[in-house]
Structure 1
Amino acid sequence: MLQPVAAVATKYQNSTHRAISLLDKCLHIEQINQIQSHLTVSGTLFDPRVSGRIIFFCATSDSISHLSHALNLFLSLPHRTTFIWNTIIRAFAEKNKPFDALSLYKQMLHSGFLPNNYTFSFVLRACNDLSDVGFGLRVHAQIVKLGWESFGFVQNGLIHLYAKCKRIICARKLFDESSNRDVISWTALINGYAKCGDLVVARELFDKIPEKNAISWSAMINGYTQMGMFREALELFNHMLVSGFWPNRAGIVGALTACAFLGALDQGRWIHAYMDRNNMVYDRILGTAVVDMYAKCGCIETACRVFEEMKDRDVFAFTSLISGLANHDKGVRAIELFKRMQKEGVEPNEVTFICVLSACSRMGLVEEGIRIFNDMREHYGLEPGVEHYGCIVDLLGRAGMLVEAKNLVREMPVEPDSYVLGALLNACQAHGDVELGKETLECFIEQRLDHSGVHVLLSNMYASANQWDDVSNIRKGMEVNRVKKVTGCSLIEVDGVVCEFTAGERSHVLMVEMVHLLLGINKQLKSLCFDDENTCMSVDQAYW
């Protein structure tokens, strides 16, 4: 006997409500699959309310396979809602698949669905990831046309997009016209000015933020770091700590980078200890930053230990340690690490080859260096750049193969720069080839690369050959052409503060006296810390 239509509809609604309540309680994909199978049999799977919950669960999962499951269900739906479209677009945007997210957005428009403010927040994120300002402009026009431009997170997305794409005037105009400014919009604009190199305006904005957070502090710190203003970055990092803010991962990476370039070992150790106290995972970015800091601060063995503790090592981590080993005259270990990198399936990049070729050069491994140089093109498809040719010129020059080095410079497919010519000139000085040194200097002058270091190096070469008239001519030429010798400077870290001293000034003499004083203090510490064999303690342990 046929049931009344109202009874069938009521039964269908009850089944749908039960399915939704079960879906809301699911914790694992296996449970979702079981319910989906039941819904398929009962014919309620294609109800947008039910299918939307399944797609949301799978799309927001961390697994890429679950995202594929959500997409397959999405494509099979005869009826979709704006919520379902937003869910799938958001999933691809958050899974670092911006091309797919924008493609789905286009399909949404072609299907006759109008996007809302949530749609635009996800679409703008995808545009940001691609730095696609052209598509972003079209999206901006649609936002204005549909009247969503007044929503705060939509405005923040637009400001972030224009700032990242260096359309700083557009970003500033939106920021000034916004009535919903929050720390996100302030930070986005600061990032934009920092990316454009205008740190003065960036700092002015940073100082005006009504309420700062760890992200805004990190944005300014990394802005300084990216522009090479490492002292300012470290000062701001310390100011952040004094102000009661604890650094996030981005701020720690920026501070560690500053420590590495300044040689601020004590500060770097403090940051490392902070990471351990807070059980921070040494992922690719953080781990590489710590390795690089210790390597550049002279603690190469500590850098190796941190490297081994990293669970996930990529090309940047390997390259950082290879560079550190090469700079510490541990070329054999650097080459061994390079071979280990290849065995572990991590492909080297252009910078990796520069580091390993530099290691070969310092160790005098001519055949090994040339083999690696050839493998760069033949096995990895990487075209050598001027830096790689500079390493080979340095390798040949150190080995006394000046003729081969000279021929390589002449036959290079790229124009030699100051690094290549400097390597050749250094070889000329080391082996007393004054004539080739003159030719190299002429190349410097032709390319307008004749800075003070080149003249000083050639002057020293003449002095070594007792050609004092030529030394005098070089000095006079520097005066006539107003080439000034760059004043030397020294850095020293005292209580976590890095001080710079200029050579030839009274400050430099005071620095030397301070170093002697600190050395004396270290000797006293050692005598105090080594009471007996059972209580042996290093100076660093005593300090901490």
Structure 2
Amino acid sequence: MHPPPPGLLTKYLASDKGTLSLLRRCGLTIRGVKPIHALLVVSGAIADPYAAGKLIAFCAISGRGDLRYAHLIFRGLPRPSMFLWNTMMRAHVERDEPIPALNLYCQMLATGNLPNNYTFSFVLRACLHLSALADGRKLHAQVAKLGWESYDFVQNELIHMYATCGCVDSARRVFDQSLHRDVISWTAMVHGYAVSARIEEARELFDKMPERNAVSWSAMMTGYVQAEMFREALALFTEMQRAGTQPNHAGVVGALTACAFLGALDQGRWIHAYVERKKMELDRILGTALIDMYAKCGCIQTALQVFGGMPDRDVFAYTSIISGLSNHGHSEKAIELFRKMEDDSVKPNEITFICVLTSCSRVGLVAEGKNIFDSMSTAHGIEPGVEHYGCLVDLLGRSGLLAEAATTVREMPMEPDAYVLGALLNSCRIHGNVELAKETVESLEELGLDHGGVYVLLSNMYASANRWQHVAEVRKGMESKRVRKVPGCSMIEVDGVACEFVAGDSAHHLNDEILSTLKIMDTQLKVSSAEGGAEIAESWRELVNKPID
């Protein structure tokens, strides 16, 4: 917008109120504010705290202002009011600039100004953003000294600050001392317990809440997801809907994450339909959650459709779809998307490289994978970690370059972990290199990473090579070390409920019905065996004779 014409400024010269009313004009920008600022200086009205406050508030807080220009006006005032100090601190906190906000607070104290209750709501939030617990405690002491502890929003900021900084017991003391707890303070405490992995205490407090809103439900649900209690998260999501509370953005993302890990496709589709019905914005976070859910539930084409429909894609969206494509056997497409990501100037992160290196490994693109590995440090400034070396070892080993893979392990700048040595061991299994496999298992033993699966794999390799004496030695070693193989498990979704089945466990409440169904299938297969299905029938008989949960 152009500055107001001189005639208009002259008309308002006699009225400060009229001058300030120009700030409310629709479409006014910082260019139009400068003549108003000049007029207030010429008329002397800039010394009025109300006038200065209106001008600085427009420049600092409104989306059409300029914080740098607000600082220029602020520094020109001889004695800024407390409202102006608070406005400037608020502006920095809302822009996620906590350090300038705290610097302003220190400058304010140096000038002899005492903070009021609104001041603490901003500086405590700045400490929260920085996880600056020590500074937060000092501010708490000042709050108590100046007598502002009784204000609800100050107490809520203290609870939130302590809880977010991991000092949940201190947050609980403030919460217990509060005489006027509202839904915000209750939710802050639930969130604090949840992020500190004290889920039982979080749920106990959540159940006691006199009032809940969408943020409260989301806080508890997010806690379940972070604790990998995905069934509980989905159960809570269902309970929230029955309570008549519409899930917010965070709640939907949490529920989709739980669906992804449980393979609960039907419920994930229902949530997607809810998102579309409520016309929720498909931003980066929500879009990535949908991509991840569909990819992990086996619907990679739908995941690609969601990705294609996102108006704005960041590194997390790209990484999620690249991972999904790689896991579904579309490695070439995954690598192609990685190149498109670079062309779109989206900077990959450490996880992106793990996904794309895994894709190269699965299709045997050795040269491509090595170039991508080298580009981490040369083109993107990311030093490869132990996980990336594991991917490189897997790429080389799967392609039969065992000597180069072993050399890579020996020349790593860090100590190899179970992932790196496991990749080398798996390559030895593929190509039948028993001696290198034995050496790798010994390295795993030195690191204390020799779980049951490692010994079983080595034993099977010896058996394939008809080295039965070595098989017996490995089995005897497992018995002497009391090493047990972790039983396998699988998970399926039935009527929107995820059911887990563990090998050797017969505790499932529908165990009899499952066995009965399998026996019926076995009978039908016996009939078909006469028509060429003998091998299939025998496989089903073996399955029926095993314990089933």
Shorter-chain TM-score above 0.5: yes
Range with greater deviation from structure 2 (494-503 or 118-127): 494-503
Q: Answer whether contact 1:133 1:165 (CA < 8 A) is retained.
A: yes
Residues 1:344 and 1:512: Cα distance change in structure 2 (over 3 Å): farther
Give the structure 2 partner of residue 107 of structure 1.
107
Shift of 1:516: 12
Match of 1:212 in 2: 212
Residue 453 (structure 1) aligns with: 453
Match for residue 405 of structure 2?
A: 405
Aligned to 2:241: 241
Where structure 2 has 5 or more consecutive residues not aligned to the other structure, the ranges are 1-10, 522-549
1:481-496 correspondence to structure 2 within 5 Å: 481-496=481-496
Counterpart Cα distance in 1 of 2:130 and 2:266: 39
Rounded to whole Å, the distance in 2 between the matches of 1:34 and 1:516 is: 88
| 1:354-386 deviation line (CA, Å, top 9, x unaligned) | 111111111101011111111111122211111
SS in 2 for 1:45: helix
2:69 partner letter = H
**CA distance, structure 2, for counterparts of residue 102 and residue 182 of structure 1:** 27
1:148-206 CA-partner distances (Å, limit 9, x unpaired): 11111111111111111111221111111111222211221222222221111111111
1:460, distance to aligned residue in structure 2 (A): 1.8
Instruction: Give the Å deviation of 1:511.
Output: 5.7
Aligned-pair distance for 1:16?
A: 2.4
Q: Cα deviations across residues 128-158 of structure 1 (Å, max 9, x unaligned)?
A: 1111112111211111111111111111111
How is 1:399-478 mapped onto 2 (pairs within 5 angstroms)?
Answer: 399-478=399-478
What CA deviation, in whole Å up to 9, does each residue of 1:13-64 have, x standing for no partner? Answer: 962233344545666336645543443443323422112112222322235x
Query: Does structure 2 conserve the Cα–Cα contact (< 8 Å) formed by 1:501 and 1:511?
Result: no
Q: Distance in 2 between matches of 1:403 and 1:513?
A: 52
Shift of 1:77: 2.2
- When the two chains are superposed, the root-mean-square deviation of aligned CA atoms in Å is 2.3
Displacement of 1:515 after TM fit? 10
For residue 449 of structure 2, give the secondary structure of its aligned residue in structure 1. Answer: coil
Quote the residue 2:339 is aligned against. Answer: 339
Aligned twin of 1:289: 289
Give, in whole Å, the separation in 2 of the partners of 1:458 and 1:513: 37
**For each residue in 1:400-437, what CA deviation from the matched residue of structure 2 results, as whole angstroms up to 9, or x when unmatched?**
11111111111111111111111011001111111111
Q: For 1:304-383, what aligned pairs fall within 5 Å after superposition?
A: 304-383=304-383
* Aligned residue pair count: 507
Question: Could you tell me which residue of structure 1 aligns to residue 182 of structure 2?
Answer: 182
* Cα distance, 1:335–1:96 mapped onto 2, change above 3 Å: same
Instruction: Provide the rounded CA distance (Å) in 2 between the counterparts of 1:431 and 1:22.
Output: 79
Q: What is the rounded CA distance, in whole Å, between the counterparts of 2:517 and 2:134 in structure 1?
A: 57
Q: 1:184 to 1:395 in 2, by over 3 A?
A: same
For residue 536 of structure 1, what is the aligned residue in structure 2? none
Q: Percent identity?
A: 59
Maintained 8 Å contact 2:331/2:363: yes
Q: Counterpart of 1:69? A: 69
- Partner-residue secondary structure (3-state), 1:490: strand
Partner Cα distance (1:364, 1:516) in 2: 43
Alpha carbons of structure 1 residues 513 and 60: separation in structure 2 relative to 1, 3 Å: farther
Distance 1:207 1:80, change over 3 A: same
Deviations for 1:426-483, whole angstroms, at most 9, x for unmatched residues? 0011111111111111111111101111112112212222223333332332222221
Give the structure-2-normalised TM-score.
0.88
The CA distance in 2 between the partners of 1:245 and 1:513, in whole Å, is 42
Matched letter for residue 53 of structure 1: K
Query: SS of the counterpart of 2:55?
Result: helix
Contact 2:259 2:293 in 1 (8 A): yes
Q: What residue is the counterpart of 2:129 in the other structure?
A: 129
Tell me the residue number matched to 2:256: 256
SS at match of 1:113: coil
459-468 vs 38-47, which deviates more?
A: 38-47
Give the partner amino acid of 1:293: M
State the Cα distance separating 1:69 from its structure 2 match. 2.9
Distance 1:339 1:124, change over 3 A: same
The separation in 1 between residues aligned to 2:315 and 2:46, in whole angstroms, is 46
- Report the CA distance shift for 1:33/1:363 in structure 2 as closer, same or farther (over 3 A): same
State whether residues 48 and 79 of structure 1, in contact with CA within 8 Å, keep that contact through their aligned partners in structure 2. no
Instruction: Supply the AA of the counterpart residue of 1:58.
Output: C
Between the aligned partners of 1:152 and 1:339, the Cα distance in structure 2 is 52
Contact 2:490–2:502 (CA<8 Å) still a contact in 1?
A: yes
Q: Indicate conservation of the 8 Å contact 2:12/2:19, yes or no.
A: no
Q: What's the counterpart of residue 3 of structure 1? A: none
Distance (Å, rounded) in 2 between the aligned partners of 1:465 and 1:149: 75
Whole-Å separation in 2 of the counterparts to 1:62 and 1:275: 28
Q: Give the whole-Å Cα distance in 1 for the aligned partners of 2:93 and 2:15.
A: 33
One-letter code of the match for 2:217?
Answer: W
SS at match of 2:501: strand
Which secondary structure state, in structure 1, belongs to the residue aligned with residue 45 of structure 2? coil
Measured after TM superposition, the shift of residue 351 of structure 1 is 1.0
Instruction: Tell me if the contact between 1:19 and 1:50 (Cα under 8 Å) persists in the aligned partners.
Output: no
What is the rounded CA distance, in whole Å, between the counterparts of 2:232 and 2:473 in structure 1?
41
Q: Which residue of 2 aligns with 1:36?
A: 37
Which amino acid is 1:171 matched to?
A: A
- The Cα shift of 1:273 comes to 0.9
Residues 506-521 of structure 1 mapped to structure 2, 5 A cutoff: 506=506, 507=508
The reply to whether residue 159 of structure 1 matches residue 135 of structure 2 is no
**Which residue in 2 is equivalent to 1:58?**
59
